[in-house]
Structure 1
Amino acid sequence: MMTIEVQVRKGTLTAQRREELGRRLLGSVAGDPGDGKAPESVLATARALTNVLVREEETWVTQGDEPRYLVRLTVPGSWQSKEFTEYMIAAVTEAVAATEDDPGRLYREPHCQVQVVGLKEHAVGTLGRVTTATDITRLITDGYRASADQREPAPGTAIDPVCGMTVDLATATITLEHDGTLYAFCAPVCKKVFSEDRAGGARRGSGGA
């Protein structure tokens, strides 16, 4: 669950360009169906849980008259790692720059500023209840986890059993060995979901509550 708010000076973008920017941002941060990075079932749910708001501001006071963009991403705090923010800032800047007549301008001048804001655990919810980072991951990956994906990973890679992302084993830092099999994960929360599911299954198998 992510909210992306883009603020621009009034008159900077036409309605069509605001719509284009919103769709570019949605594809950049919540997965483009054609990029092959994760199963479409996961990407579709991620997009459904992401909201992009592009707003024009009547008054914007700063030095200079060039078009400016202030982008704020609000996400669960546990997502707010260095790797996540680096990826998001780069992806957002690229998406915004692509709507400009001079895409390179935003790499020469600091006129697209991106803020990544993390919400504390238990500070977000849907379906009428508090939704933790683990709950959100389950919502996004329910369809994939129920599909019993049988894809074979490419040599040197593994498929995250929770979200279906391809993980490079040479650089993987989040792994878990279970029943003699080594699993690799794209994020700590995927490993947590996997571990909780296996622990729950073991308790049921032993007759526990």
Structure 2
Amino acid sequence: MDERVEPYVMVTVVRRVRPSSATVGDKAIVTANGEMKGFVGGHCTRELIINQAQECLRTGEKRLVLVSPQPPVKVEEGVTVLSMTCASEGTVELFLEPKHIDPLLIIVGDSPIAHALKDMAPRFAFVPRRIALEEAGSSSLEDTLEILRNQLAAFNYTTAYGVVATMGLYDGEALLALSRWPMRYLGLVTSPKRWKTVRSGLEVAGAPKELIDFVTAPAGLDIGAVGAQEVALSILAQIVERRRRDLNAQWEGLPEVKSSKSDSVSANDDRATVSQKVVDPVCGMTVDLEKTQFRFELDGTTYGFCCSGCRNRFAKDPESFLSHA
């Protein structure tokens, strides 16, 4: 089972009372899809334990379960007691131990902090996958994430942890792209002042309030970190804390919205008709409209920007910039 890299629960019979059909030491595994392999009791026990096992996978916690037709009046601490619906099957006590694959940590960016996170993550039992538009062969972050999804298709990653460390290059775009994934944690490497700007940009882009509130910004515990390695350590410490203490906090992911092929062709055609070189209306920098990831459509005109900060400022109040153009 470990070779297949799938999470499962190991179930072991630790005590039994006749006429239970199980014996001490019997084992079974329960997969994430509710399939039991092995024997730890009859049909009634089986159904009860499958439900408990799936709960263990959800929480990551071990569990001692007592199944009996006559539950004790006094229940010992740490024991989950379930009523046996088939009285003839006796009493059985089982130990449930979830076996998880290391969780996925998606890191966006080509910054020193992004590289430090990738290097350090395996030491804390995370599987790091770093992506960056600067290095990707695809034209957008969404395309890059789709490639990542395909690469991870053989693994049972139902949730992930995410950190955006682009250092202001495409913070908002990265957060929105990662919001397609179910997330246990979504952090942004930024300053409190810049987070206000990114937050405003997300609001303008129509991001749900639940997503914006879920983002941890600035990412990392306040340990007075200096340099990329220490900042990465502070972020990993915060992720470990979330993983161990706040198991119910999770972003379920935005629904996938995929444009049709005709829409994609139309969008590409539109971009082909505009000038390649345009002036960022916010900062005055010349940018290549075909290559920049930061665009804004207004009244049929496509404006290009050097970074997400300029685009967000423009989106918030276009007229203030166009009136001085």
Structure with the greater alpha carbon radius of gyration: 2
TM-score between the two structures when normalised by the length of structure 1: 0.28
TM-score between the two structures when normalised by the length of structure 2: 0.21
Higher RCO (CA-CA < 8 Å; seq separation 6+)? 1
